[in-house]
Amino acid sequence: MSKRYSAQKMMIEDALMRLDHPTASEIYEDIKKTYPNISLGTVYRNLGLMAESGEILRITFGNQPDRFDINTHDHIHVICKKCGEVFDAEGKRLKELIVEIDESIEESTGVHIENRTMYFQGICSNCREQS
């Protein structure tokens, strides 16, 4: 791993900690404020490598741009259909439900679940208040 890659990766990790479920473009714009020489291609390439290695999550919602999450622990994503904001849903009961779903799938298919992609859609409280 080169020093340059490490510095770029650190910039991306820092941006992911500051931003909530950002797109690659949002990460690029954030980093560019401090490091104007970074390219969008570099950000995309590093995000891809980080997602492949499991360091971050790539969140895909249909036709919308992928979003990225530094929180790799088991949790569920909820997206607002109006504003597009992404929320993390976590808690003891949700973790228990995830285990139950995994076990149920394994019982019915024989497939041991190693990871999953699950998200819910709705209208967030801010958008409901504006209606």
**CATH 1.10.10.10 domain locations along the chain:** 1-70
- In CATH terms, the fold of domain 1-70 is Arc Repressor Mutant, subunit A (1.10.10)
Instruction: Taking residues 20-35, report their average pLDDT.
Output: 96
CATH code matching the domain that covers 73-131, chosen among 1.10.260.40, 3.40.50.2020, 3.40.50.300, 3.30.1490.190: 3.30.1490.190
Confidence of residue 46 (pLDDT cuts 50, 70, 90): very high
Summarize pLDDT for 54-95 with one digit per residue, the tens. Answer: 999 999 888 889 999 999 988 899 999 999 899 999 889 998
φ/ψ (deg, to 5) at 74: -60, 120
Q: What is the reported pTM?
A: 0.82
Contact yes or no for 69/56 (Cβ under 8 A): yes
For 17-74, what is the HEC assignment? HHCCCCEHHHHHHHHHHHCCCCCHHHHHHHHHHHHHCCCCEEECCCCCCCEEECCCCC
